[in-house]
Structure 1
Amino acid sequence: VDLELEYDTATTDHCGTCTACIDACPTEAIVAPYVVDGSKCISYFTIELKEAIPNEMKGKMDDWIFGCDVCQDVCPWNRFSKPHSEPLFAPHSEILSYSKKDWDEITEDVFNTVFKNSALKRTKHAGIKENIRFVNLSTK
């Protein structure tokens, strides 16, 4: 699509010589400043990949079963961010108290009810179950 877009002021570069995100990425998906190799990213493996997660990722995914925020968590500039107030983006209150056992045993019916209209529907129940299985195998 060739579409002319309006733009506003460019975001300023605050990174300087910081490499916190590069250093912290467990799969080395951030290959250079401002460059992410999506094919190595945990978010790709847990959301987009439609086949089995490669064995070489064992031990690198911690407990991420849908997406990953390691780079965001370590960015020193994110300490200045403000929480959103959009209720539609708030986590479903039920999942905040889920235990490992609850996730391991989540049924398709429960998944479809709890995550109705959620981004987690992208990976479907089968995808979440596969991600949980992989993470569980990786931590044994």
Structure 2
Amino acid sequence: MSTPAKIEHVEEEHSGHVTLYLPKGLNQWLGEHRASTGISYPGIVLNAISWAAAENRFAEIFAPADSPIPANDIFGRAPVIPRPARGSVEPETRPLRFRKDHMRVIISLARTWTADNRNAFFVGVLTAYRDQQNKE
């Protein structure tokens, strides 16, 4: 059963500047998707987050049913997500800039779904969005 997306108000200010650390294939897809659609990088990320929120896909993306840590854990821990070993592959960086009000929502969602790990939130949402886009 999925938990409805909860958006908490975030007190701290954020500049809106973010550097994503993406797996090479995801970073390549992001560049190709931007080139083929003309949508800005921040626009693609916001589309991915909106897509995940519209169908309440956050639990599906970030909280596997067999996780011993539930979504919205009272201690703020993220559900356990099996991660493949990264090995020696270095992630690629992509600097982005978001509006401050958009960052407040992103920070709140990352706090809920990835225990405040914004990069894990971006990678998870973008990966699911890419997979969905590739099906169409």
**If the length of structure 2 is used for normalisation, what is the TM-score?**
0.26
Q: Name the structure with the higher strand share.
A: 2
Rg: which structure is higher?
A: 1
**If the length of structure 1 is used for normalisation, what is the TM-score?**
0.25
